[in-house]
Amino acid sequence: MESSHVDYLRHLERLAQQCVPENFYLWPRTPLDHDHQSKITERVGVSDHSVHDPNSRPALIIAALRRFRDQVPEDFSVLDIACGDAIVLWQIKKAFPRARCYGVDSNTGKFGTHNMVQQEGVELFNAFIQHLFASDPPVPFDVSLMLNTYRGWDSADLREHERALPQAADAWFAENTRYTIVTATGAQIRHLKRLGFSVTRLGRGEDDSTMVCISKSKWLQPFWHRILSFGKRRLGAVA
């Protein structure tokens, strides 16, 4: 399955090479290099480098992955969509050395951290999410991530023909990944529930968003379904 995922992501990368980047950028004001983590710290309260802090984004994700390790293979696949500086993926790779960690971003190669994380085993691809959400991988990913950009659809420079991109993303998650971790607003979470996703709260996201794990029932195994139910009883329903 690893080669299938890599071939798929390389195909998206080839599509991107044929395009004018300015016609596909959705968040052109994304800060690059060290300013990226400054923004994360401002929005979350803790940097992605601080994996020892249980409130950091990678710590919340790693804790969730540990809870359903029995439901995915030891070399589970993770796709971080609009991965930014890829520090979250790097932290996952360190916690789960056998995991296959992939990232797609239109700014791949522009962050100072990208060489480092790739040397540590993370694979990054320069691709546009428009192509990703318009296609299906040969086999589903075990886990996908879409953090700040998912809750930030309202701030995206969506062109008229891209207005349905948020809906395309939700449809892609339903079909092409077993578990998806996003940071979402309350309105987005209610919408995901209406679409039939099982939703469990993981912790705080950026600004006033919440980090949640979502999945369609067809992917859920009994163990993880119990975890979701337990989380809902402990934490209460997400607004």
* 3-state secondary structure at position 167: helix
Q: Which of 43, 81, 58, 53 is nearest to 180 (CA)?
A: 81
pLDDT digits over 153-212, tens only?
Answer: 988 888 999 999 999 999 999 999 999 999 999 999 999 999 999 999 999 999 999 999
Query: What per-residue confidence (pLDDT) applies to 129?
Result: 94
Question: What was the pLDDT predicted at 230?
Answer: 45
Query: What pLDDT does residue 233 have?
Result: 46
- Three-state SS at 125: strand
C-alpha closest to that of 235 among 215, 210, 208: 210
User: Domains along the chain?
Assistant: 2-235 (3.40.50.150)
Is 185 within 8 Å of 154 (Cβ atoms)?
no
- Residue scoring higher pLDDT (12 or 218): 12
- Smallest CA-to-CA distance from 141 within 183, 173, 188 is with 173
